[in-house]
Structure 1
Amino acid sequence: MNPDNHRQGLVSVVIPIYNGEKYISETIRSVMDQTYADLEVLCIIDGTKDQSLNLIKKLGDERFKIFEHENRGATYTRNRGLSLAAGEYIIFLDQDDVIKPEFIQAAIQEMIRTASTGVAVNGHVIDSKGQIIRRMYRVNKPKLTLGSLLKGNQMYTPSQVLLKRKSVSETGGFDIQADQADDWDMWIHQARSGKLVFLDRDLLRYRLHDANQHWDHDKMLRSELHIVERKLLGERNPQAIKSYSYLRYSERTADWSALAKALKLNALLIFQPRFYWTALHIAWTRRKSNAKQNGGTGLSQK
C-alpha cells in the first residue's frame, strides 16, 4: 500500500479467516453494525476450503474486500492485512469474536482524548453458543506500561485493541517467529514506542470454543522465550523477564520443575504472592490428577 493512499479517519478491520464458517457471519455482522461508518473490512482467506468465502459474499457489503492465499497462518495473514490497509486506524479482528456497535467509535474517541497509539477495551468471555461466561477484567484491570507488559501478556486477544496503523507499520508488523506470542511482542513494541491505554467499557465478546482452547503450552513457552532471548536482552534484568514465562508455563502445565526454573532465574519471586498461588495451584491440580488415576480417593493404590 502506497502511504499516499492512506485515508485519515478510515478504520481498517483485518479479519484472518481459516475454517471460520461457524462464526464468521456473526463476526462480520458485528462490524456492519458499527456506529462508526468510515470502514474498510479486509477479509483474508488463509487457505481454508470451507464455506467462509460464500458466507461473506452473501452479506453483500461494498466495504468488504476479500483476499485469498494458501495457508500461511494467522501471523502472516495479519501482516498481509496490514500491508493492504488504507486506514488511519486498524484492528485485527479474530474470525470468531464479536465487537459491540460502539466499539470503534468509543476507541477512537479514547485514543484522541489520551493521545495514545492504541486502545484496549473490556468485554465478556462467551462460549460457543454466545452465552456469557465471565467478565474479561473485573478487579484486576490491565496495566499497559512497558514495565508491566514485560512480565507477560495482559490481553485476551488482538480483537480487543484498536491501533494507529502507522504505529504498527513502524514496528514491522507481527513477528512470524514469535508464533503464538506474536501479539505479546506487538504490545511490547507499542508500549515502548507509543502509548497503550485501557478503556473499561463492555465492547467485546471474546469467544472460547473447542477450536481455540487447546493451546500448545510447550510451543507458547518457546514463543515467549524467542521474544525474550532475541528482542529483550537489552532490557533491565532479562532473566527476570524470562522467569515469568516459566512461571506461567508451570501454572498451565502443573510442572514443579518449571516453577523451580522460574525461581532459579529470579529469586525475588519468593516475595510475590503469585509465586505461592502458582505453587498451590500446581499442588491442587496434581492432587486432582492423582485422585482421578487412583479411583477418586486421592490415595495411592496398594
Structure 2
Amino acid sequence: MEKTDLINPPLVSVCIPAYNCEKHIGECVQSVLNQTYKNLEVIIVDDGSTDRTPSILADLKNDHVRLFHQKKSGAAAARNLAYNKSRGQFIKFLDGDDIINPGMIESQVELAVTNNKCIISATWGRFYNNDIHTFKFSPEECWQTLPACQWICSSWRNGHSMMQPGIFLLPRRIIETAGYWDEGLSLIDDLDFFTRAILTSPFVIFDPNAILYYRSGNSGSLSGHKHHQAVQSAFRSMDKATKTLLAICTGPEAKMASANIWQHFIYTIYPQYPNLVSMAQEKINQLGGSSLPFVAGGVTKRTASLIGWKLTKQLKNLFRLP
C-alpha cells in the first residue's frame, strides 16, 4: 500500500461539536491537547450553547485550538463547519463529552500513513457518573482489521446501529468522496455518515492501542432522546445506511446484518411508534428475516420468557417501567 513520509508527520484535525457541555468540554479538549502526537489542530464549533460552554471554550483557545460559533443547527451541521475549517490530511470527529487516551492519535497515525487509503478504528468503552474509574471496555466482533463490507456486517450483526465517531481516524480524501454529515439527521446520524465513509475505504484497520472513553448516562444527552422527531431521525439514518450497504454488498451477510439493526430498532421503540414498527418489520420481511433475539436481563428477561417480548414491552410501557 502507498506510504507517507513520517519525517514530515501529517496534520491531524480533531473536529468537535459543542452544545451545552460546560461540565465536560474542558476535559474532552484537554485529552486532545495531551496527546503524544503534536502535529494536530483542534477545531471546536459551539452550536448555540446557552450555558457556560462559550466562555469555557474561549479560555481553551490557543495556537492549536480554533473556535467557531453558529446558531443552533445540530451536531451534524457543527461537524460539517468544523471539517470545512480544517486543514488536516487526517480527520477525527470527537463528541464534546468524550475522552481519548494520550497515545491514540499517534498510534492511529502510524497505521494511517502505511494504509493511507483506509479508515483506522479503535477500541472503546463506557464510564458512568463522570467517573473514569468505572470505565469498562465494550468488546465488539468488529475489533479486527476487515474489508469494509465485512466490517459493517460484523458491526451490525448484534443489531447495534450506533458508531462512535471518536474511534475513527479518516483520510480527508475519504470524506471528500463519501460526502458530508446529513444535517437533516439528529439521532444516530453517525450511522449514515460512517457507513458511507467506510464503504469508500477498502479496509477498516483496527488499532488495539487506541481507546475512546465514552461518557454514558448523561441526562439530556441526544442518545437518551426518544421523542418522535429523534426516532424518525433514527429511522431515516438506518434506511439510508442499509440502502448504502446493500447497494454495494449484496450477499446474505449484508441482508442479515441490515435486518438485525431493524429488529433492534423495533425492540427499542415498541410499542410507542406503531407506524415505524410496521415499516421496519416490512423491511425485515423483504430482507428474509432477522436472527436477532430479544435481549434483556432480570425481571424483564423472565417475564419475556413467559409471556413474550411484545406483551412484556406493552406492560412496561403501560406502567412506565424502565
> Is TM-score (shorter-chain normalized) higher than 0.5?
yes
2:220 alignment counterpart: 211
Residues 177 and 133 of structure 1: is their aligned pair in 2 closer, same or farther, counting only changes over 3 Å? same
1:225 alignment counterpart: 239
Deviation of residue 108 (structure 1)?
A: 0.6
User: Which sections of structure 1, spanning at least 5 residues, go unmatched?
Assistant: 1-6, 297-302
Residues 102 and 120 of structure 1: is their aligned pair in 2 closer, same or farther, counting only changes over 3 Å? same
Q: Secondary structure of 2:113's partner?
A: helix
1:39 matched to 2:37? The reply is no
Residues 144 and 54 of structure 1: is their aligned pair in 2 closer, same or farther, counting only changes over 3 Å? farther
1:110 alignment counterpart: 111
CA distance in structure 1 between the aligned counterparts of 2:91 and 2:116, rounded to whole angstroms:
16
User: Which sections of structure 2, spanning at least 5 residues, go unmatched?
Assistant: 1-7
Q: Is the 8 A contact 1:116 1:196 kept in 2?
A: no
Residues 117 and 184 of structure 1: is their aligned pair in 2 closer, same or farther, counting only changes over 3 Å? same
Letter in 2 for 1:121: A
Q: Secondary structure of 1:234's partner?
A: helix
What is the TM-score normalised by the length of structure 1? 0.79
Q: Is the 8 A contact 1:244 1:262 kept in 2?
A: no
CA distance in structure 2 between the aligned counterparts of 1:107 and 1:285, rounded to whole angstroms:
44
What is the TM-score normalised by the length of structure 2? 0.75
Residues 160 and 285 of structure 1: is their aligned pair in 2 closer, same or farther, counting only changes over 3 Å? farther
Residues 24 and 291 of structure 1: is their aligned pair in 2 closer, same or farther, counting only changes over 3 Å? closer
1:165 alignment counterpart: 172
Aligned positions, number? 285
Letter in 1 for 2:112: M
CA distance in structure 2 between the aligned counterparts of 1:189 and 1:140, rounded to whole angstroms:
17
1:234 matched to 2:247? The reply is yes
CA distance in structure 1 between the aligned counterparts of 2:294 and 2:95, rounded to whole angstroms:
34
1:264 to 285, 305, 308: 285
Residues 133 and 290 of structure 1: is their aligned pair in 2 closer, same or farther, counting only changes over 3 Å? farther
CA distance in structure 1 between the aligned counterparts of 2:178 and 2:141, rounded to whole angstroms:
32
CA distance in structure 2 between the aligned counterparts of 1:291 and 1:252, rounded to whole angstroms:
12
Deviations 1:33-88 (A, max 9, x none): 10001111111111113211221222353211111111111111111111111111
Q: Is the 8 A contact 2:188 2:237 kept in 1?
A: yes
1:197 to 189, 205, 213: 205
1:290 alignment counterpart: 315
Residues 100 and 47 of structure 1: is their aligned pair in 2 closer, same or farther, counting only changes over 3 Å? same
Deviation of residue 109 (structure 1)?
A: 1.0
- Which deviates more from structure 2 when the two are superposed, residues 79-88 or residues 167-176? 167-176
Cα RMSD, aligned residues only = 3.4
Residues 202 and 13 of structure 1: is their aligned pair in 2 closer, same or farther, counting only changes over 3 Å? closer
CA distance in structure 1 between the aligned counterparts of 2:258 and 2:141, rounded to whole angstroms:
26
Q: Secondary structure of 2:234's partner?
A: helix
Deviations 1:175-196 (A, max 9, x none): 2244434322222223322132
Deviations 1:216-235 (A, max 9, x none): 34431232124445x46634
Residues 286 and 114 of structure 1: is their aligned pair in 2 closer, same or farther, counting only changes over 3 Å? farther
1:244 to 249, 260, 272: 260
Q: Secondary structure of 1:55's partner?
A: helix
Q: Secondary structure of 2:220's partner?
A: helix
Deviations 1:2-54 (A, max 9, x none): xxxxx961111111111111101111111111000111111111111321122
Residues 291 and 227 of structure 1: is their aligned pair in 2 closer, same or farther, counting only changes over 3 Å? closer
CA distance in structure 1 between the aligned counterparts of 2:211 and 2:246, rounded to whole angstroms:
36
Q: Secondary structure of 2:247's partner?
A: coil
CA distance in structure 2 between the aligned counterparts of 1:179 and 1:245, rounded to whole angstroms:
18
Q: Secondary structure of 1:176's partner?
A: coil
1:19 matched to 2:20? The reply is yes
Q: Is the 8 A contact 1:46 1:73 kept in 2?
A: yes
- Which deviates more from structure 2 when the two are superposed, residues 180-189 or residues 239-248? 239-248
1:134 alignment counterpart: 136
